[in-house]
Amino acid sequence: MKIRAMLLSVTIAMSGASTELMSGAVSAEVASKAQSNRQQDITELRSDFQVGLDAQHVDVAIKYMAKAIAPDDPAWNEKNPRWATVSALVGKHLHEDATVAFAGESAIAQSWEHAIGLSLSNNDIDTLLAFFRSDLGRRYLELQNAIDDLVIEERFRVATNGVGTASAAAAASRRRVLDLWMSVIMIRGTMAPHASATIVAMIYTSFDKHGLGPELELLSRRFSADLDGFEIFAKSAAVSAVLDTVRRMPNDSNASNTAEFFSSELKRHGQEWQAAYSSP
């Protein structure tokens, strides 16, 4: 009987240990899955904040790069039978070279995700994701992409000597839209007040000098029902937590320069594009 009792106690002990081991393994698997999901959330959030996405907007430059091949040819436009072929070649080169030119954005993205993962609370991350995944948040991202495209377009427009003559109401609507641009929010939230005010004023002026004010007014009308909601989000505690984190991050020398990229592309591929333009 004693032997049977001993065997029974050993069996129970082994069963308990096995259950404990299984429970520990399951807990570790759940924790690992949760950590993986949280990293995916942070990567999604980084994309929502437009970090490391410059290469995605190069398509806006195609028509300007194609036009630069023969700027004095009045017939050289979208109606020209060779336009599509040349534009496709320009686009091919831009996409291929952007992969290399903007490679540094990967390091910036990783640094951003690491900092956000360490600094933001789970509640802040969930709050931000809930906004960006909402209908209002998706429209906010549409506005970001539209302004980012205008910035690319600005680089190819000829600046005028003076600013435009927009009415006070029009100027206010333009500034309201630009103040919701993520880049301006980052500048204001991470730099000293005087420096940020100077840079933002330069952005306002540059858009005006390059004739993009009317486009900003169109965006103001397009998103008129959403602007109040966008502003509430931009001033939220969760966004402030992101800005506090970014403010503490070191300046990254890997930041891309789209103006230099487009200039170098024209020098690098200009002859090939010219040949495609001239071919019968």
Q: Give residue 204's identity as a one-letter amino acid code.
A: Y
pLDDT in tens, 49-90: 988 887 778 888 999 999 999 999 999 999 999 999 999 999
Buried b (16+ CB within 10 A) or exposed e, 113-138: bebbbeebeeebbebbbebbeeebbe
At which residue do the structure tokens 């007040």 appear?
A: 193
pLDDT in tens, 84-126: 999 999 999 999 998 888 888 888 889 999 999 999 999 999 9
pLDDT in tens, 235-278: 999 999 999 999 998 876 556 688 888 889 999 999 999 999 99
Write the CB contacts of 208 (distance below 8 Å, at least 6 apart in sequence).
Answer: 163, 164, 166, 174
If one counts the domains in the chain, the total is 1
Q: Containing domain of residue 154, as a range?
A: 2-278
Contact in structure between 91 and 62 (CB atoms under 8 Å):
yes
Q: What was the pLDDT predicted at 99?
A: 85
Contact in structure between 34 and 108 (CB atoms under 8 Å):
no
SS3 76: coil
Gap between the Cα atoms of 108 and 147, Å rounded: 21
- Token output for 124: 């802040």
Q: What was the pLDDT predicted at 257?
A: 80
Q: What is the DSSP string of 190-239?
A: HS-HHHHHHHHHHHHHHHHHTT-HHHHHHHHHHTTTTHHHHHHHHTSHHH
